[in-house]
Amino acid sequence: MFHHISKWLTDKYLRLFLFTGLTVIQSMFCVHASAADAIEKREHLAAFDPAKGFRPAQSDLTEVFLQIAGSLEFYSSPEPYLRHMKAEHVRIEAKYQQQLGDKPRSFCPAYMDDAYFDQFAANWKHIAPQLGLESLTKSTGQLMCRAINGPDGKGTILADVFHRQQHEVDAAMSSKKTVPVPDFDSLKVRMVKCLRLDATPMQVENLTLEQQAVIGPANDAHAAFLKLFSAVDAGLTPADAEKVKAVINAIVIDVGRMAESEMEVASLEASLDYLHAPQTPYSVEMETALNTDERKTLAGFLKKPRFTRDDFPALDKFYKGPYDRLTERGKDEMSKRIHTGMRPAS
């Protein structure tokens, strides 16, 4: 077991929406595999180029999940992403200590140490071949890309959910007070509320088109997930079946927690780079992809030393469109307001 599991994922839709692990979609893709391959055989290249490798830790949660999706499709395993991000945490924490002289608060889940990765590899080696998890993980990565990007490539409601989570995290991390930083559990709650997954029964006709675009394949994926678990129950003793199902659920949660921590530690590095790297003066006029009104809004944000909850309405509107068109420098200017003046918690 990777770590203590207090409860399983019981919401059938969360298994897809938190599919940053091994949500199994065999039944859907066995039927449609040929058609899917004909549409696009290298889906992962849109979010993850194996020739270039993983990117440094990213503060944009949508990009975080897209890279995870691409790596799942290419590697057919979540282990490479987890190991990459563990290394990123170590690198950025060392960078912080070198530049500021203090040991920073670690955003990496505490239980993810060397022993954890040894156990992860052993568990994966044991169950993946028997359950066919490699091919199913690859298919999961493809589905993740499509669920986030949407059929037109312009993004779905999931991107809005990720952006809103970023706002909450930004406000908590930039606060002068000691406040809890929203975690992966809060992201799950946000997704349930935004996508109306707590509605019983689910009335598809009452959902928006954006909600339907994401929820549609969830029912198919849920059926496949139950099919796998039923096979596990039928083929193993009750005690062993519980262990296998707990391991699979733990993988889903662990990759999700690491994704959340990537966004947090990337924001920390962005603030370090801004504070210590000499830069030419920044001007909103550099943001040529923004229109005049959007640049004016950005200029208003940059007058603030840090963001607070009072900024949420304006930030929410900005993150839903203009933010994605910012230059990397512009995104850094926003990120640095998260950590300016932040020091490790005592």
Q: In this structure, is residue 323 part of a structural domain?
A: no
Q: In this structure, is residue 45 part of a structural domain?
A: yes
Average pLDDT over residues 100-112: 91
- Of the chain, the percentage scoring pLDDT greater than 70 comes to 74
Is 319 exposed, middle or buried (CB count within 10 Å of its CB: 0-12, 13-18, 19+)? Answer: buried
Is 153 exposed, middle or buried (CB count within 10 Å of its CB: 0-12, 13-18, 19+)? Answer: exposed
Q: In this structure, is residue 301 part of a structural domain?
A: no
User: pLDDT by residue (tens digit) across 325-334?
Assistant: 998 888 878 8
Please state, as a whole number, how many other Cβ atoms lie within 10 Å of the Cβ of residue 178. Answer: 8
Instruction: Find the helix packing angle between 26-39 and 133-149, rounded to 10°.
Output: 60
User: pLDDT by residue (tens digit) across 30-88?
Assistant: 333 333 443 344 444 567 889 999 999 998 899 999 999 999 999 999 999 999 999 99
Q: Which two tokens stand for residue 310?
A: 């009072």
Q: In this structure, is residue 332 part of a structural domain?
A: no
Q: Which two tokens stand for residue 63?
A: 């990009």
Q: In this structure, is residue 331 part of a structural domain?
A: no
Q: In this structure, is residue 159 part of a structural domain?
A: yes
- Structural domain of 240: 14-281
- pLDDT, mean over the chain: 76
Q: In this structure, is residue 339 part of a structural domain?
A: no
Average pLDDT over residues 241-269: 89
Handedness of CA 134, 139, 142, 146 (dihedral sign): negative
Q: In this structure, is residue 61 part of a structural domain?
A: yes
Residue 90 in this model has a pLDDT that exceeds 50: yes
Q: What total number of domains does the chain contain?
A: 1
pLDDT at 14: 35
Please state, as a whole number, how many other Cβ atoms lie within 10 Å of the Cβ of residue 187. Answer: 24
User: pLDDT by residue (tens digit) across 285-344?
Assistant: 999 999 999 999 999 888 887 777 677 788 878 888 888 899 888 887 887 665 543 434
Task: Label residue 93 by pLDDT band (50, 70, 90).
Answer: very high
Q: Which pairs from 274-281 meet CB under 8 Å and 24+ separation? A: 274/332, 274/333, 274/335, 274/336, 275/99, 275/336, 275/340, 276/99, 279/329
